[in-house]
Amino acid sequence: MQDQTGTKPPLHAGDLQATALASLGLRLVAGHKGLERPIDWPRVQKPGLAIAGFTPYVKPNRVQILGESEFAFLKTLPAGIARERLDAFTALPIPCVVVTKGIDPGPVLTGLCRRRRVPLFVTSRMTSIVIEGLTAFLEESLAPRATLHGTLLEVGGLGTLLLGESGVGKSECALALVQRGHRLVADDLVVVQRFPNDVLIGSSSGLIRHHMELRGLGIVNVPMLFGVAAVLERHTVEFVIQLTDWDSQQKIDRLGLDEEFEDILGVAVPRVRMPVATGRDVALLVEIAARNHLLKRRGFNAAREIAAKVHDEIARKSASDRFTVARRARRKLSARERAR
């Protein structure tokens, strides 16, 4: 059984100096000794209320953004009160402060951040752009993740995760699907992240990205064999197919009426179990399963349609049988009355 509970990667104020945020032009001007302060929230916060003197809603370990409106408000306050507000604000358990639009943070805020070891970043970019860029970076960095032993492909536009015991044929099936025109995301190790709104995104793990191990052949490079259009860097995980060894004693849903789900990072993903046996075209079956799932999402369920027709036919025959029995009973009653 794979561990799919996931972990939340640690993030610190110093990570805002990452190359991924180079376009924001964040420049550290104070608080160099506080770069290890933790960041726990994937959303940033504009602490307008805190600057106004109400601090309870400033979330601990959440990146704070000071823009033009906050500094304009501070200028309306007497110098002593403005200093008290900034003193109370920087005393809170915040990871860092980002000042936008090229505004000079001033000696008071700079001095407080330096003394309290609160990293103070400045940037010339607009506040909205900074918030958008930081939010995308934080969501990506703080998304809970789990590493699964499986293969992830885009099959007909559907993110399909193949699971199963080692040697069941996941990689061979994936290779056949790629040959049919579908695209590989990850083989062997799939890193799955859970984003807001319960969206699961899968990608490959590091050095083995876009490579596959095929028993008897060794390691192959998929884009070199099939072209760059045969692979994707990442894709949503929307459907799970559990490949299992064929067992005549195994209980298999013959009609497809039963609904099963795979729990991945707390998200229930629709799942089907597919027995693997010699002579079965597993790639074709996976392709059909993905298409059938897409039809179900659009409201068409072949199994339920057949079941409904069978139910209606049974009800019709039952009603017809009841009518026949009643008619026979009336005939017998009429015959007895005539005999009298």
Selected catalytic residue, list 254, 336, 338, 340: 254
Question: Cα-Cα-Cα-Cα dihedral of 171, 174, 176, 180, to 10°?
Answer: -170
Distance CA 164, CA 146 (A): 17
Q: Three-state SS for 203?
A: strand
3-state secondary structure of 172: helix
Determine which one of 170, 183, 271, 293 is catalytic. Answer: 170
Length of the chain: 340
Q: What is the dihedral of CA 243, 244, 248, 252, to 10 degrees?
A: -50
Which one from 8, 149, 280, 297 is the annotated catalytic residue? 149
188 given a catalytic annotation:
yes
The CA-based angle 270-271-277, given to 5 degrees, is 160
- 65 bridge partner residues: 98
Is residue 170 flagged as an active site residue? yes
Nearest by Cα to 177 from 158, 205, 149, 204: 158
d(CA 231, CA 252): 33
- Distance from C-alpha of 99 to C-alpha of 123, rounded to nearest angstrom: 6
Which among 245, 212, 240, 216 has a CA at the least distance from the CA of 226? 212
CA dist 29 to 96, 111, 118, 162, Å?
11, 10, 10, 49
In 3D space, the residue among 63, 71, 134, 127 whose CA is nearest the CA of residue 100 turns out to be: 127
Q: Catalytic residue, from 188, 194, 210, 235: name it.
A: 188
**What strands, in cross-sheet order, belong to the sheet with 64-66?**
27-30, 120-122, 97-99, 64-66
Among candidates 294, 250, 303, which has minimal Cα distance to 275?
Answer: 250
Is 149 among the residues known to form the active site? yes
* φ, ψ of residue 210 in degrees (nearest 5): 65, 20
CA distance 329 to 112: 99
By annotation, the residues acting in catalysis are: 149, 170, 188, 254
